[in-house]
Amino acid sequence: MKYISTRGQAPALGFEDVMLAGLASDGGLYIPESLPHFSAEEVSQLVELDYPDLAVEIMRPFVADFLEEEKLQVIVHDTYKVFRHKAVAPLTQLDTNEWVMELFHGPTLAFKDFALQLLGRLLDEALERRGEKAVILGATSGDTGSAAIEGCRACEHVDIFIMHPHKRVSEVQRRQMTTVLADNVHNIAVEGTFDDCQALVKASFADQSFLKGERRLVAVNSINWARIMAQVVYYFHAALSLGAPEKEVSFSVPTGNFGDIFAGYIARKMGLPIKQLIVATNRNDILHRFFADNSYAKEQLAPTLSPSMDIMVSSNFERLLFDVHDRDGQQLAAVMKAFDETGSISVDEARWQAVKQLFTSNRSSDEEVVSTIKQVSDECSGYLLDPHTAIGVKAARVCHSDKSVPIVTLATAHPVKFPESVVRAGLSEPELPLWLADLHERPELYTVLSDDKAEVHRFIQEKLGL
């Protein structure tokens, strides 16, 4: 399988090179030239598989030029044996045909573990073969950082630098990053927003001269195709559990960067019978405004109770726009250039209407988040949602168009990571799991830096001895 850039000017690459490159050389995002497709009969044959074996079947076509199946089996089983629920991604029923899929049973209590536990192992395999060392440079609005650190802390060939917006992530999110005191782990608190952190990452990838040719930069943000690939699996897992391929399933996805819901879009294109994809946003609603009004436009970022979604620009949305524009890289490059210059784009009416056949969207305020947490707790014997999942549940209840079709909300994080929302709902503060009970007593290590590329690069050089 070859991967091409959304902007059409970068060379097509195999999986290993795409994983190591992250962003394409023309500024685009890599995407498979063509997707594997499962017939209804082939989907039905997946029903009896446990999660790791299902993951092998779904991901095998994407990595066939990189890993033999036996090696893939080992890596995937190692990845998911660290999850603390036998089902890996269990489904919990809220109401008739309404479910949440709990994606928070990994080591950092967030859905990012599904991809980043895997990515760390894949990176180490690739770098070992090449005899190289790499620098992971990432930006996080909360969960990506801790999941990336946890996935890469034991990697022999990687140093990892994670930037988070200073005082704009929850305390549990911060501590899950900054209490990992491994020699190859470096946390940077940037005096700015997540989008500032993301801009620093993109600028660093565009000019890697500060590494003096001794290391390569690797991306762990959701622009890395390996992350999308891993997330496709749990859509298959949920749909199979609820009757696919005989029955359709819909999904509501809390999303800021569009990566998690784009994985659902890919699953549908691979043959999974998905009826509806609901984009659930907070007040930072660039995605909702596109699907509601055909306006993809930057606005001032506002802090919310769901900080992992406090994002002004959704990086992975470019991958959908590529398909919307007939997979024409030249055309898409012109669209993205217009967005960079004006901060606002819309698409042709017919293309927008076609997208809306699958996607709908909803926006929730902080007040609605708190209300939804309380409502679900009252209805479901004290079952707790984190604020991001509450946004997904709210959107599911507003937008679910066919009540005969099961709706699954992706529960993206454990509520203990965001206790403020639970307390504001008038409920008792959730307790950390026993294996994390001492998190608030563990020593922290991080460095506060200004939103300045040169300062960040000097810090990295110093830590690497360059």
pLDDT digits (tens, 9 = 90+) for 110-121: 999 999 999 999
Lowest mean pLDDT among 53-57, 215-219, 443-447: 215-219
In the chain, the domains with their CATH numbers are 80-109+225-424 (3.40.50.1100)
Residue 438 neighbours by CB under 8 Å, 6+ apart: none
Q: Tell me the pTM.
A: 0.93
User: Where does residue 316 rank: exposed (0-12), middle (13-18), buried (19+ CB within 10 A)?
Assistant: buried
Lowest mean pLDDT among 134-143, 180-189, 303-312, 382-391: 134-143
pLDDT digits (tens, 9 = 90+) for 292-324: 999 999 999 899 999 889 888 898 999 999 999
pLDDT at residue 322, rounded to an integer? 98
The residues assigned a catalytic role are: 112
pLDDT at residue 223, rounded to an integer? 86
Q: If pLDDT is split at 50, 70 and 90, which confidence band does 238 have? A: very high
Lowest mean pLDDT among 152-161, 185-194, 409-418: 152-161
pLDDT at residue 220, rounded to an integer? 81
Nearest to 421 by CA among 384, 396, 465, 448: 384
Residue 24 CB neighbour total at 10 angstroms: 24
Question: Does 68 score more than 80 pLDDT?
Answer: yes
Nearest to 162 by CA among 171, 16, 176, 154: 176
Which structure tokens are listed for 90? 């269990």
Question: Does 414 score more than 80 pLDDT?
Answer: yes
